[in-house]
Amino acid sequence: MFFHSALGFTIPLVITLLFCAITGTTFFQYDAAGWTWLTIGALCDLVGCIFNVIAFQNDESAFIAVVQYSQVFYAFVVDIVAFNQGITGLQLVLALSIMAATCSVAVYKLLKSESE
């Protein structure tokens, strides 16, 4: 978890500093919506790290590892909503199939662990 925290801090900082140096802007020129999205992203990452640590402490990391595959689907959603990127029909079908497979395996493992 140390490397996740260290990389999660340094890589966005380096990218932001490079962006500011190249474009001549400062970090404080974002509007309220930009700061809101940054805060929401940071809080979601924090909650995800907390749940990951708790899962590893309770030796239930297999369930969390399966759910992490759903990040592919959410990456497509963010591309569409935040970055106005279009995706093809094939990409949408494959992203939905990954999400369906992930959810079905997660539900199966959850039901199996509750029955034992």
Question: What span, in angstroms and rounded, lies between the C-alpha atoms of 98 and 101?
Answer: 5
The residue-averaged pLDDT of 68-83 equals 74
> Can you read off the two tokens belonging to residue 38?
């940054």
CB 72 within 8 A of CB 100: no
Nearest to 42 by CA among 63, 13, 85: 13
**If pLDDT is split at 50, 70 and 90, which confidence band does 14 have?**
confident
pTM score? 0.45
User: What pLDDT is recorded for position 18?
Assistant: 85
Count of Cβ atoms closer than 10 Å to residue 96 Cβ: 12
Q: Is the pLDDT of residue 52 over 60?
A: yes
Domain segments of the chain as ranges: 31-115
Cα 37 off chain centre by: 13
The residue-averaged pLDDT of 27-52 equals 77
